[in-house]
Each structure stands twice: as C-alpha cells, then as structure tokens.
C-alpha cells in the first residue's frame, strides 16, 4: 500500500466514524501531515499536528515526560506512545499518531538507522509498533508514514495489530 492510499483509507474511516485525528512527528518532519492534507475532505477529520524534531520540544510541546526522554532518549516505544497521547490531548482529537526513530544516514545515540517506533492513541487504548526499515533516508520516512497510517486503520477497524500497552 502506498502512503496516499493509506491516507485516503484513514480519512474515509474517520469521516464515517465522525472522529478526528492529530499527529506528533519527529523523524517524518511533517511528511505525515503533508500526506494527510493531500486527501480531499481531510478538513473534516484532521485537527493539526506537532513537528517536534528537537528532543526538548517533545517535552515542551507534546508533553513527553522529561524523565522518560532523559532515561531512554527520543527513539523509544514509550516516547512514541507519549507523543501520540500528546498530539491527541494537545490538539483535542479523538486519535493521535506519532513517529520517532532514526532515518539516517548515521546511527543516533546508539540506535541503528531504520529503527522506528510508531504509535496510535485513541479512545481507551494506545498501540505502539517497532519497525526495522532499510533503504535511503527518504525511503525510511515514507515507509514510516505508510506504516503509521496503516496502524491507525487497523485500530479504527478494531484490529489488535501491534503491541497494545
């Protein structure tokens, strides 16, 4: 599935449910929001988002606990979950999506290129998934966007894909 198809599936599913979405992006740097807003009708569901590339902004804008960031760094499953919850709460949306990881070309803080965490937070539940991606920086970012949109579609449709926390 390409990212445009995944975005259209998300928008269609949320329009049907009359629910809204917000994003908190790190390694995708706005690509997730850009992908969503390319879909006609997205204004009915997309509230907005946070591009929190710098670690300190993950705390100050998205509400990720400082202790968590200090202990584990920004590339961590619990950070991804906190980003998704932060997007959801700070933007007043039903669903929050998050991306964090290492797109390359070099490892970051001992984390390998292609290690990515995506998360979805929604009504009464949150899910995180670890990805091990390969390819160029652009390919890692694009695959991350497609994957997090697919994870949201699974969650909206009631799938238990991923690791629920």
- pLDDT tens over the chain, length 165 residues: 799 999 999 999 999 999 999 999 999 999 999 999 999 999 999 999 999 999 999 999 999 999 999 999 999 999 999 999 999 999 999 999 999 999 999 999 999 999 999 999 999 899 999 999 999 999 999 999 999 999 999 999 885 444 444
- Tokens found for residue 99: 């991306």
Burial of 154 (0-12, 13-18, 19+ CB in 10 A): middle
Question: In 87-159, where do the E strands start and end?
Answer: 95-101, 115-122, 125-132
Distance between CA atoms of 148 and 154, rounded to whole angstroms? 10
**Prediction pTM value:** 0.94
Assign residue 91 a region (left: φ > 0; alpha: ψ between -120 and 50; beta: otherwise): alpha
């Amino acid at each position: 599935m390409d990212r445009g198809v995944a975005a259209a599936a998300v928008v269609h599913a949320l329009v049907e449910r009359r629910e809204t979405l917000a994003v908190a992006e790190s390694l995708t740097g706005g690509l997730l929001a850009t992908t969503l807003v390319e879909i006609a009708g997205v204004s009915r569901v997309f509230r907005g988002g946070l591009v929190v590339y710098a670690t300190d902004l993950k705390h100050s804008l998205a509400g990720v606990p400082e202790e968590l960031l200090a202990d584990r760094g920004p590339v961590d499953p619990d950070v991804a979950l906190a980003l998704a919850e932060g997007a959801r709460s700070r933007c007043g949306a039903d669903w929050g999506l998050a991306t964090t990881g290492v797109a390359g070309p070099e490892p970051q803080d001992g984390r390998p290129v292609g290690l990515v965490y995506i998360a979805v937070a929604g009504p009464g539940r949150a899910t995180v998934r670890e990805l091990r991606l390969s390819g160029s920086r652009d390919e890692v970012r694009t695959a991350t966007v497609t994957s997090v949109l697919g994870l949201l579609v699974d969650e909206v449709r009631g799938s238990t894909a991923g690791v629920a926390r």
